[in-house]
Structure 1
Amino acid sequence: MKYFLIAGEPSGDLHGAQLIKAIQSVQSDAVFVGHGGDKMAKTGMRIIEHVDQLSIMGFTEVLKHLPRMLKIMGQTVEAIQRYKPDRVILIDYPGFNLRLAKNIHHLKIPITYFILPQVWAWKENRIKTIKKYVDQSLCIFPFEQAWFESRGISANYIGHPFVDRPPLSIKKEDYFASHGLNPKQPLLVLLPGSRKQEINRHWPIFLETVTLLKKQKPEYQFILGKSPHVTIEPCPDFIKIEKDARFAMTHGSAAITASGTATLECAVEDIPLIVCYKLSRVSWWITRWATKVKYISMVNLILNRMLVPELLQKEMTADRLSSAIIPLLESKSAVRKKMLNGFNEVRRSLGLPGVYERAAKAIAER
């Protein structure tokens, strides 16, 4: 079997790599090519376009890069025509992947969508595209299956991939020692995002926040979670660097996190957090106009209540971020305990282990 996969973001690269491994366990002769990142490349998949060249967020940001993305779209269609895969697997990344599904429909290649777009939150009109062009739909949240099926799409709920992650082996003391940190002092994890546009908007505010906190609480320590391919400057020496953010989440005391996959990841790793995000004015206006949900964080969406603070746009200031994070860094605070209790509910809602295996089995049997 020949598969063509498209993952356009670091989170998609992670899920794609695990899915490939699961497919390889049931189809030893399977071959993979497409768009992805380093993790997918390590499985043996041939990478055509790296995720670093594909991650774009926001309406105005997409417009700015539209010529390049249109070129990549054309090249992707051509590559699929040449490669003639038995199945195309789309992983999240709906802005690109749904257009691709439409553009390759004439090739009559079956399409699996792994991690369906969150059309229940915004852009519900995308339902029509999914229904018309996607052959197999795999969803990861328990409420999604009924939602999609009520709109005429046969969706298969497989559970959330985060439940499949093995525990990290490194002890807290060893982790802190490896970064020259004191395990007895609070550690704040900084997660400004993975896209260049996110970092450009968020990092100056993160730096200002850290400066305020360092003056108020000299004992606080700081670590920045970022991909090796991402450049974040300036970064003072007292802020440590972690190339695999999960290690920082596991051993950190609290986190300031840009909205995205990392918010749910923090809940799974049991680290209290505040969520923040800043878009251009035009992108923000369009987002608020098109969005139908009350919250931006998946943690709050799953619980249908505000557990994790959300500081967006004008509310995302150093003063507000520092004020909100201090109680979460205090080990005995009531705010911290309440959030950690809420995380138990979130984890229970994500399903049972074996997500990638269930997805691979569903794909292989299609």
Structure 2
Amino acid sequence: MKKFYLIAGEPSGDLHGAHLIDALKVSFPDAEFYGFGGEKMQKAGLEIHQSIDQLSFMGFSEVIANLGIIRRNFKLAKAKIQEIQPHAIIYIDFPGFNMRMAKWSHAKGFKNYYYIAPQAWAWKPKRALALKKHIDQLFCILPFEKAFFAKYDYQVNYVGHPLVDIIDQYRKEDNTKINIESDKKIIALLPGSRRQEVEKILPIQLQAAQMMKDYDIYIAKASHLPSGLYEDLISSYNVEAIIYHGKTYDLLSSATLACVTSGTATLETALFKVPEVICYKGSQISYEIAKRLINIKYIGLANLIMDKEIVKELIQAECTVNRLYEELKKLEDLEILNTLQEEYKILEVKLGVGGAAKKTVEVIVQDLNRNFEKIK
């Protein structure tokens, strides 16, 4: 019986981790799953040792402020791994934590697999060397990543983006959809999955959306954050808005426009063909540090994959109520809208045919079998 330890630190990792567990069960029906994750991974069968709401902090200053919690999480993960002695550890994105864990686990002789490679191409490119040293198999989900790692003589596995399968599965399960009934068009606000993001970005989104008079406002609530956080902000800015709990895909299926905080949700919105504006605003200290370290032209995944700005990005000083409103109004222009929809179609083709979790498990099975033969 195989034992796997998985570590995800954010809602997107929780989503991808749950699908990976489902794929692992096909090859290892009696396997046991332990680790750090969220509700989706727990539902898939993970015995949770730490929840994602105790793991993810946005920005450099926020990380420093929570160093005590982070250290305790490292200590907990190491203790649990040594106690359980898993056959393999699978890291899902979340590089600040997971790369340090991988270094420790490699030194202890554990098998290390990394699903959804750290974005070393964006910053700290020499992370590629650390990954090559400490990870047995690395799985990339963006089409340009394989070529990046090849520059470091590191042969990795490109498996395609898992969202292709996840969204395809959602669309096939028509019975799970909830069609939102509204007399007006719907503008969806996706303010992020971290408390700090919601506190900084949702007020801007709410005020800009309120200026769009022909729309009802719906907010996609992160399942692990308290409802009161959203309710207080809605009340503070005196905006009529509906909090939508845990059904983001249902909301995107019904939305006409969307304001989306930078992250996986920007790509999800694009794959649902919803015209969007990407927002990002962090602490000024964190932003100034990041600006000097990160070497990318865009922050939106759709833009990165297409290598051009198909979706407008409003970052830091540009992320204001008036600028967001201006960009939302532009998306009502039929010519701009048609151009965007054509770009979305090309994006979908670039992401491939799916099967990311299944392809990943196939490589893990082969690698574990090779390791077993060596031991024999």
Report TM bin, short chain.
Answer: over 0.9
Partner secondary structure for residue 325 of structure 2: helix
Q: Does 1:61 find its partner at 2:62?
A: yes
- The answer for the alignment partner of 2:180 in structure 1 is 176
Question: Residue 177 of structure 2 contacts residue 250 of structure 2 at CA under 8 Å; is this kept in 1?
Answer: no
Unaligned runs of 5+ in 1: none
Letter in 2 for 1:150: K
Question: Residue 159 of structure 1 contacts residue 350 of structure 1 at CA under 8 Å; is this kept in 2?
Answer: yes
Q: Deviations over 1:231-282 (max 9, x none)?
A: 3233357312222211111220111000000111111111110101011111
Partner secondary structure for residue 234 of structure 1: helix
- The answer for the alignment partner of 2:217 in structure 1 is 222
- The answer for the alignment partner of 1:46 in structure 2 is 47
Q: Deviations over 1:75-126 (max 9, x none)?
A: 1111111110010000000010001111222210010000001111112121
Question: Residue 192 of structure 1 contacts residue 203 of structure 1 at CA under 8 Å; is this kept in 2?
Answer: yes
Partner secondary structure for residue 113 of structure 2: strand
- The answer for the alignment partner of 2:266 in structure 1 is 263
Identify the match of residue 274 of structure 1 among 274, 277, 282. 277
- The answer for the alignment partner of 2:257 in structure 1 is 254
- The answer for the alignment partner of 2:208 in structure 1 is 209
- The answer for the alignment partner of 1:348 in structure 2 is 349
Deviation of residue 205 (structure 1)?
Answer: 1.4
Partner secondary structure for residue 121 of structure 2: coil
Question: Residue 27 of structure 1 contacts residue 364 of structure 1 at CA under 8 Å; is this kept in 2?
Answer: no
Question: Residue 187 of structure 2 contacts residue 209 of structure 2 at CA under 8 Å; is this kept in 1?
Answer: no
Q: Deviations over 1:181-218 (max 9, x none)?
A: 22xx32100011010111111122122223333xxx2x
- The answer for the alignment partner of 2:130 in structure 1 is 129
Report the TM-score, using the length of structure 2 for normalisation: 0.91
Deviation of residue 134 (structure 1)?
Answer: 0.8
RMSD: 1.7
Identify the match of residue 287 of structure 1 among 287, 290, 294. 290
Report the TM-score, using the length of structure 1 for normalisation: 0.93
Unaligned runs of 5+ in 2: 368-376
Give the 4+ runs in structure 1 shifted more than 4 A. Answer: 169-174
Question: Residue 146 of structure 2 contacts residue 156 of structure 2 at CA under 8 Å; is this kept in 1?
Answer: yes
Alignment of 1:1-366 (within 5 A): 1-165=2-166, 166-168=169-171, 169-170=173-174, 175-177=179-181, 181-182=182-183, 185-213=184-212, 217=213, 219-231=214-226, 232=230, 233-235=232-234, 238-242=240-244, 243-328=246-331, 330=332, 333-366=334-367
Partner secondary structure for residue 210 of structure 1: helix
Partner secondary structure for residue 180 of structure 2: helix
**Which region of structure 1 is more displaced relative to structure 2, 234-243 or 61-70?**
234-243
Change (3 A) 1:171 1:2: closer
Letter in 1 for 2:216: Q
